[in-house]
Structure 1
């Protein structure tokens, strides 16, 4: 059960998740996708992930995030249900809080013309993925269960979560897209492969996380987000062809961002 719990809850960070050149989705596709939950199939308009995901300037700084699972679905039940699905149902409507931060990063000059939010110093805003993922994982699993999170220095799209008992969760972002709506929402979608190592047989699956962020006129919260994480079977799974392009589990979260004055330091 721990395996599937990790897969569900790490989405937000893999999630508060990662572009140097934003890939625009077809007009309205991502917002329409969120509106039609849980009738989902795999996205086809995402592009291979390169570089890091750039966020709008209004997301800069330190935040206390409250994440609440508000809905979940197993579209292929009762024929196919992931072992951790019913266990995750216990998290419904139970808020979980943790710290995250978004930081400025120097952008390669050759990429600047593609970055809508790069400033005149050539900087862009990105998520501190190691910090965010570590805080999220520990909020759900406990400080003792999660040892560290490391991001590949050669690729911002690959990270490893080190768990107690010589277990690891390797997450690799493979594709993404973004969308800006007329009502001010910034929507991202990321597709990543997750490999859980440490059991007798490594387990691989594919996860898509789609999040719509919106800046509010208040500071309590200052940002809210609607997020859906979809879990798909890997080709190695015996039910892969039965599932086809449909997800086997869907989790919908409400995220609220409150300004934090806490001095954040990595807790590794």
Structure 2
């Protein structure tokens, strides 16, 4: 389970869309850049959405020799839609000032110039996603590092934790209007008999539709790779050990009206 552009670059032209088309023939993505700041989304994704997520395909490319924990259990979710809320919010950040040299001095003409960007509400989205798949009682909270949107912890019942760090990402915009993102996560599961590490890549192609029912659709593939700590790491090489493909549908959320004061 993955808890779904400052300083991050675009992928090579067409690489991410071709990657989705090549499912399940995947290798580790090499063109991503180190994650810095947050992932910026297009304006048409702003707001709160009711998302229906359906697992439509899955594969274990290295089975039966290597199979990740939970893969067979996840097979039961095939073609079973799950629903949860997500939201994308405006955030303001301080744009870097431009120095203006004047007779040997550097004067900064604008030091308070702020730019609004659209980002995912990671704590809200991850909490709702985790509760949808694991149940309300299994998930306690999600905390995002206040110093970095790329680091978060999901607290689970039984003193278990999922530590997730976005280490790399890439984006791509296609001629037919799709916005494609890739984020690579390092994950650590704590609280079991022994810690479990892995690496996860989530690649998603979003597209705005001409209707509101749904308003946005997305094709998402989650790929799970072994970490260097795993004894099967060298046997797996650059190949994923599990792949999950989802169809996402975004509907405008009907939120309760705010009581008047």
TM-score, normalized by the shorter chain, greater than 0.5: yes
- In the alignment, what sits opposite 2:227? 234
Question: 1:223 and 1:245, CA in 2 relative to 1: closer, same or farther beyond 3 A?
Answer: same
Question: 1:57 and 1:182, CA in 2 relative to 1: closer, same or farther beyond 3 A?
Answer: same
| Higher percent of residues as strand | 2
Question: 1:153 and 1:264, CA in 2 relative to 1: closer, same or farther beyond 3 A?
Answer: farther
- In the alignment, what sits opposite 2:102? none
- In the alignment, what sits opposite 1:188? 181
- In the alignment, what sits opposite 1:148? 141
- In the alignment, what sits opposite 2:20? 34
Deviation at 1:79, TM superposition (A): 1.1
Question: 1:48 and 1:22, CA in 2 relative to 1: closer, same or farther beyond 3 A?
Answer: closer
Query: Is residue 21–residue 111 contact of structure 1 (8 Å, CA) maintained in 2?
Result: no
Q: Secondary structure, in 3 states, of the residue corresponding to 1:242?
A: helix
Deviation at 1:111, TM superposition (A): 8.9
- In the alignment, what sits opposite 1:260? 253
Q: 2:162 aligns with which of 155, 165, 169?
A: 169
Q: Secondary structure, in 3 states, of the residue corresponding to 1:107?
A: strand
Q: 2:130 aligns with which of 134, 137, 151?
A: 137
Deviation at 1:264, TM superposition (A): 10
Separation (CA, whole Å) in 2 of partners of 1:263 and 1:177: 36
Question: Is structure 2 residue 216 aligned with structure 1 residue 223?
Answer: yes
- In the alignment, what sits opposite 1:5? none
Structure 1 portions without partners, runs of 5+: 1-7, 113-119
CA displacement, residues 224-264 of structure 1 (integer Å, 9 cap, x when unaligned): 00000000001111110000000000000000000012159
Structure 2 portions without partners, runs of 5+: 99-112
CA displacement, residues 185-225 of structure 1 (integer Å, 9 cap, x when unaligned): 00000001000000121111000000000000000000000
TM-score, normalization by structure 1? 0.88
Question: Is structure 2 residue 114 aligned with structure 1 residue 128?
Answer: no
Separation (CA, whole Å) in 1 of partners of 2:13 and 2:256: 39
CA displacement, residues 109-146 of structure 1 (integer Å, 9 cap, x when unaligned): 1299xxxxxxx961000000000000010011111100
| Higher percent of residues as helix | 1
Question: Is structure 2 residue 69 aligned with structure 1 residue 76?
Answer: no
Q: How many residues align?
A: 244
Q: Secondary structure, in 3 states, of the residue corresponding to 1:122?
A: strand
Q: After TM superposition, what 4+ stretches of structure 1 lie above 6 angstroms from structure 2?
A: none
Radius of gyration: which is bigger? Answer: 2
Q: Secondary structure, in 3 states, of the residue corresponding to 1:154?
A: coil
RMSD of aligned residue pairs (Cα, Å): 1.7
Question: 1:192 and 1:264, CA in 2 relative to 1: closer, same or farther beyond 3 A?
Answer: farther
- In the alignment, what sits opposite 1:89? 75
Question: 1:238 and 1:111, CA in 2 relative to 1: closer, same or farther beyond 3 A?
Answer: farther
